[in-house]
Amino acid sequence: MGLTLLQPCPESTVALFGIPGLDILKVSADDGGVTVLVQTPPALVGCAGCGVVATGNGRRIQVLRDVARGSTPVQVVWSKRRWRCADSGCPVKSWTEVSAQLPARSLLTRRAAIWACVQVGREARTVAAVARELAVSWHTVMAAVRVHGTRLVDDPARFDDVGAVGVDEHAWLRANATRRTGYATSIVNLSARPARLLDVVPGRPGAVLATWLDCRSQHWRDGIAVAALDPFRGYATALGRCLPDAVRVLDAFHVVQLGMGVLNSLCEVPAT
């Protein structure tokens, strides 16, 4: 599939579908959604190997999914320029242009990949639901979540301004005839509004939590005034050792759960 030379679309179209650094040539719609044809603006390009001005060497088409418009899927068709070095002795020979907004070999535009990560991470939508909206596979969306989410997880600033933490276990794998229940420990920043997940570590023994707390700086641990936990002695022991000055409280969910359990036992009618 190739693109003939077209004039860029009006500014109103660019405002609606525009991607930085790309000219929109055509927008069309059918039962499958909206298709946006794009190319980079004309410019002199030098060879990265020798600096000689490159000459055109045809085009290559890359098709990516973009953020949907309402319930309508959008795909971007990029007519990528291929370049050839005019110096026959240059080892570079030829290459295809690249764009940070349309990553090579990607099925999603950069903004669609970031949007997918936000939808799964911040908005708590399922990967499958986001994949359906973008009209791509589950694996494509999950790959975008890993790529863009890893930078957020690795950002040390996410541990800033934490004065209260919450700790709870989560069963991520139920037991069956061949395996035990798999548990993970979740640590939450209760100072944030809304509360923000800080980390998830495999296992639920108190040693798991203690190891995680020991990896934080003493200054960080000294700043924790309150620690909420479920009624599990292992967590209480770890918090008592690593955060001795923090006030330990049972979280509201488990307090209500324990209270309702006692109330139910008192209200049980003896069997006759």
pLDDT given for residue 23 in this prediction: 87
Residue 2 pLDDT class (50, 70, 90 cuts):
very low
pTM (2 d.p.): 0.71
* 183-240 pLDDT tens trace: 899 999 999 888 888 999 998 888 999 999 999 999 999 999 999 988 778 899 999 9
pLDDT given for residue 22 in this prediction: 86
Q: What is the mean pLDDT of the chain?
A: 87
* 135-168 pLDDT tens trace: 999 999 999 999 999 888 888 888 898 999 999 8
Q: Tell me which residue has tokens 């860029």.
A: 8
User: Which two structure tokens, joined as six digits, stand for 206?
Assistant: 């108190």
pLDDT of residue 14 exceeding 70, the answer is no
Sign of the four-CA dihedral 25, 29, 30, 33: positive
Q: What is the mean pLDDT of residues 178-184?
A: 88
More confident residue, 13 or 20: 20
Residue 272 pLDDT class (50, 70, 90 cuts):
low
User: Where do the structural domains in the chain lie, given as residue ranges?
Assistant: 1-102, 106-154, 159-263
Q: Which class would CATH give 159-263?
A: alpha beta
* 31-69 pLDDT tens trace: 888 999 999 888 889 998 898 999 999 999 999 999 988
Under 8 Å between Cβ of 2 and 44: no
* 79-134 pLDDT tens trace: 999 999 989 889 998 999 999 999 999 999 999 999 999 999 888 899 999 999 99
Closest Cα partner for 102 from 133, 76, 68?
76
Sign of the four-CA dihedral 43, 49, 51, 55: negative
pLDDT given for residue 254 in this prediction: 66
pLDDT given for residue 72 in this prediction: 87
Per-residue H/E/C for 202-224? ECCCHHHHHHHHHCCCHHHHHCC
pLDDT given for residue 145 in this prediction: 95
pLDDT given for residue 1 in this prediction: 45
DSSP H or E stretch at residue 132: helix 127-134
Distance of CA 125 to the CA centre of its chain: 11
Under 8 Å between Cβ of 136 and 108: yes
Under 8 Å between Cβ of 36 and 24: yes
